[in-house]
Every structure is written in C-alpha cells, then in structure tokens.
Structure 1
Amino acid sequence: MSISAAQCRAARALLAWSQDQLSVASNVAKATIANFETGKRMPYDRTLADIRLTLERAGVAFQAAGELIDGGEGVRLRNREA
C-alpha cells in the first residue's frame, strides 16, 4: 500500500514531527517531502517506501480506504506495549 500526501501530513502531526525531523529520520530530502505533501510532485516508489517505513517504525499505522471501517484512508498510532 502506498501512502497519500494527507496520510503523510497526518502521520507527522500524530508524532509531532516537522518535515525536517521526517527528512532526517528517513534520509529523504525535505524538499521532496514538502513537494509530496503539497501535491506538487509524487516521489519515486522507493522514496515513498522509505517515508512510510520511517513513520511506521515511529509508531504510525496506515489504513487503506475501507480497511477497518467504512470511509477513506487514515492513520493512527499503534498501541505501544509497556
């Protein structure tokens, strides 16, 4: 599953991460993240996978449209085991 620009923005918000923080953590240029999130450009598949993996490792879970409930795509934080 690929992630959308809205999911990327929402995931960063859940983590309270800036674009700079995501850039450092994912080793993806900030301009690439900014252009993706504003809809100016779609990153290469590998770059998008790097962004998604970084956010997932930080605790974000992505849902495709209709995956868990009726409705559109989404993001949530995973339960963190103590």
Structure 2
Amino acid sequence: MISLRQIRAARALLGWSQQMLADKALLSVKAVARLERNEVTSHAATVEALERTLTQAGIIFIPAGHGLGEGVQLASDLLPVRAEETP
C-alpha cells in the first residue's frame, strides 16, 4: 500500500490540489485532506482509489528498499528523449 507521503508527493508532481484529486478519485476533499494530515485511520478502499487515480494520471509509485525510502515518479520522465535533429 502506498504511503501518505507518496500521495502528497504525487499530487505535487501533477500540480493537483486536494480538491482536484478528490474530484478525480470520487472522494470528498475533506477525506483527502484528513488522510494527508494523518488525522484518520486510512481505509484501504480510500487509499486504493487514490492510488488508482494517481497511477492513471501517470504516477509511478516506488517502494522503499535497498536502504532508500519510498518515492514517486512521473511515467513521462521515463520516456526516452529524442535527440533534436541538426540541419
């Protein structure tokens, strides 16, 4: 399961407000805000809805491991860059 820090980081990478994420995940903004502030015990279904929504928007969740913490990355950052053609 993804972490609350990953949710905040993914939202920041996308430039989404809590309201935008809530709308796209079909959740209330209050639920997203409380979850991000860790004020409530997260329900698996809520976190899964957020993960699904963020993944569909192009976020890749990186699990913790090898001495490194968890992270997020935009899928578009993984696409190869085409070299510009020179005249």
TM-score by length of 2: 0.82
What's the CA shift string for 1:5-26, capped at 9, x where partnerless?
A: 1101000000000000001000
Aligned counterpart, 1:28: 27
The 1-side partners of 2:6 and 2:41 are apart by 14
The 1-side partners of 2:41 and 2:26 are apart by 17
Letter aligned with residue 76 of structure 2? N
**Which has the larger displacement, 34-43 or 57-66?**
34-43
Runs of 5+ consecutive residues of structure 2 not aligned to the other structure = 80-87
> Stretches of 4+ moved more than 4 A in 1?
none
**Which has the larger displacement, 40-49 or 56-65?**
40-49
**Which has the larger displacement, 8-17 or 35-44?**
35-44
Aligned counterpart, 2:18: 19
TM-score by length of 1: 0.87
Larger Rg: 2
Task: Count residues with an aligned counterpart.
Answer: 78
